[in-house]
Amino acid sequence: MKKSIYFSLVLLGLLATGCKKGYPVDEDGLLITTRSDCYVSSFEILGADYQTVRSKAAVVDTTAQTVTVEVLFGTDLKNLYPQFTLVTDAKLDPKIPGKVDFSDLSNPKKWTVISGNRKVRKTYTVNLSVQKIN
């Protein structure tokens, strides 16, 4: 009788721990998956009032790895909030914790997209221009 109880307990212990599967996570605590896709799917940019400052849709070129966006005349370039939409499981480096200064137009900002499996990295250049008075 006692033997069967011990046996049952051991079995339960095995059941509880034996099938535990470890999911790999990266340094940010994000799940590392098998996806190798690595691109920006869309781009938005907001002003200090959290309203879009785009004068037209941003153009994302996944081959050239560029984002080209024109912002409205009179946009405060020092206080902008870029928003990237990425392919599933990908992440952005560096992170964007708040506003970004785009005022140095001669030095476009760059962000790197990292794939879900964390093995592919593609650096995108954001070419920002300001709407001109005709």
The residues binding other proteins (CB under 8 A) are: 47-51, 55, 72-74, 76, 78-79, 101, 131-134
Q: CB 44 → other proteins: shortest distance, Å?
A: 15
Q: CB 72 → other proteins: shortest distance, Å?
A: 6
CA 37 vs CA 17, 62, 114: distances in Å: 34, 11, 9
Q: CB 97 → other proteins: shortest distance, Å?
A: 14
* Comparison of 33 and 131: residue with beta carbon closer to other proteins: 131
CA 120 vs CA 31, 34, 114: distances in Å: 15, 11, 6
Q: Which residue's entry shows tokens 């599933």?
A: 88
Q: Give dist(CA 116, CA 87) in Å, integer.
A: 9
* Comparison of 33 and 55: residue with beta carbon closer to other proteins: 55
Q: Are strands 109-114 and 91-93 parallel, antiparallel or unpaired?
A: antiparallel
* Comparison of 70 and 89: residue with beta carbon closer to other proteins: 70
